[in-house]
Amino acid sequence: MADIPVYLIAGFLDGGKTDFINGILEDGFAREDKTLLICCEEGELEYEQKALDNVTVVTADEETALTCSQCKEWEKQYKPKQVLIEYNGMWSMERLYREVLPANWVLYQVMTFVDANTFETYAKNMGQIMMEKITNADLLVFNRCTDELKAALRKRNLRMVNRRADIYLEDL
């Protein structure tokens, strides 16, 4: 079986995951290659229908519903050339890596999106879950940043947590 690139979009509710996915789809990310989009949580935003021409959207509402055998079934049924996963922020990424992704599904990029306004609260109350998303990221985006939040995030020195990620502090 041919390798299938997987792009993992992680983060908590209202972090900007769906907005990002809509943006890349509208920019033509799936124009050439048949794409499977696995949605693992339902946020406030919906996917833009006009950008879903070459995209099949499937849902895994429960962490236990996302299994290796289910992924293989979707691959067989939809024959994607690439996979996007909008991952639930409360689910373990370790389980995804070890138990869920089929051997031919190659993780190309992990992108984590965080609402800068809720970051400190989440980090304090769900530190391990939050830090797992940050330490695994290739791209780390903090959305809805004010100048004060940008200063606080710079002071926090996120480079100590993840040295390889590209980190962006996006305005409101």
18 contacts 6 by C-beta, under 8 angstroms: no
Specify the pTM.
0.93
Is residue 31 very low, low, confident or very high in pLDDT (cuts 50, 70, 90)?
Answer: confident
Asked if residue 123 has pLDDT above 90, the reply is no
**Chain segment 134-167, per-residue pLDDT in tens:** 999 999 999 999 999 999 888 887 778 888 999 9
Domain positions in the chain: 4-171
**Distance separating alpha carbons of residues 168 and 6, to the nearest angstrom:** 22
**Chain segment 52-108, per-residue pLDDT in tens:** 889 999 999 999 999 999 999 999 999 999 999 999 999 999 999 999 999 999 999
Report CA-CA distances (Å) from 115 to 7, 9, 26, 101, 161: 20, 14, 22, 27, 18
b/e 52-71 (16+ beta carbons within 10 angstroms → b): eebbbebebeeeeebeeebb
Is domain 4-171 in CATH 1.20.1440.230, yes or no? no
